[in-house]
Amino acid sequence: MLGIDGLTAGYGPAPVLRDIALEAEPGRITAIMGRNGAGKTTLMKSVIGLVRASAGRIVLDGTDLAALPANRVPGQGVGYVPQGRRLFGELSVAQNLKIGLMAGPAKGRAAAREDALRLFPRLRERLSQRAGTLSGGEQQMLATARALCLRPRLLLLDEPTEGLQPSMIAAIREVMEKMRDQGLIVLLVEQRVDAVTALADRVFVMENGRMVDRIDRADLPGAEARLMSRLGI
């Protein structure tokens, strides 16, 4: 269980996030939506420890991640796929995966790597290829596989389908569904209303660094107009 309570955080004296509260359960996809600048990416960075909380708690299965230095957060079982992928472009696919493996437990690394490649068989064909020469969809696959190599309990995905063609979007969505079915906590930032209403179990909407709406699975099929209004679409 991921529970965020009273989270305030930002990059300077003025906070970006203000008194954020959120919960996300294992075996569920929890989506965060909002207009550009609402604070969605800052929230994800706060969970992974890249933006420090000035107040509040971020608790994963009893451990307050906000109290840990950023380099210890992945070791608590937190995988992060940032917006824009942020791969090591000059390194090979295999080397990028190794970096993900090193962030996770030492035991079972070979099996973790194999599981990631089984999810993304295209990467197996490109293990020696430089990450920077992959297509956009392949780079997203690699960024996701790298995060999964540490065997996370919580998977953070920041706009994973941005700029991808439909076939790649379908492949990434299939992996998210598999991770959900395996019991992971999946926290997803996504802008596409159709994708969220089809995939998410719960949606939180942000405006100006605050949570302003929550829609659960049962209410999502008829919530498109509500979400589009919130997003200014």
Domain count for the chain: 2
Identity of the amino acid at 84: G
Query: Domain check: are 15 and 124 in the same one?
Result: no
Q: Identify the CATH number of the domain in which residue 218 sits.
A: 3.40.50.300
Domain-ending residue, one of 116, 151, 186 = 151
Is the pLDDT at 104 greater than 90, yes or no? Answer: no
Query: Domain check: are 61 and 160 in the same one?
Result: yes
**Residue 103 — pLDDT band, cuts 50, 70, 90?**
confident
Identity of the amino acid at 2: L
Instruction: Give dist(CA 155, CA 187) in Å, integer.
Output: 6
Query: Domain check: are 99 and 165 in the same one?
Result: no
Query: Domain check: are 169 and 217 in the same one?
Result: yes
Q: What is the mean pLDDT of residues 156-175?
A: 88
Query: Domain check: are 168 and 233 in the same one?
Result: yes
DSSP character string of the chain: -EEEEEEEE-SSSS-SEEEEEEEE-TTEEEEEEE-TTSSHHHHHHHHHTSS-EEEEEEEETTEEGGGS-GGGSGGGTEEEE-TT----TTSBHHHHHHHHHHTS-STTHHHHHHHHHHH-HHHHTTTTSBGGGS-HHHHHHHHHHHHHTT--SEEEEESTTTT--HHHHHHHHHHHHHHHHTT-EEEEE---HHHHHHH-SEEEEEETTEEEEEEEGGGGGG-HHHHHHHHT-
Query: Domain check: are 162 and 68 in the same one?
Result: yes
Percent with pLDDT over 90 in the chain: 71
Q: What is the mean pLDDT of residues 83-92?
A: 87
Q: Which domain holds residue 94?
A: 83-151
Is the pLDDT at 85 greater than 80, yes or no? Answer: no
Per-residue pLDDT reduced to its tens digit, 127-163: 999 999 999 889 999 999 999 999 999 999 999 888 8
pLDDT of residue 35: 93
Distant-in-sequence, close-in-space partners of 11: CB < 8 Å, separation ≥ 6 = 42, 51
On average, the pLDDT of the chain sits at 92
Domain-ending residue, one of 151, 180, 197 = 151
pTM: predicted TM-score of the whole model, two decimal places: 0.93
Identity of the amino acid at 89: G
pLDDT of residue 39: 96
Query: Domain check: are 36 and 94 in the same one?
Result: no
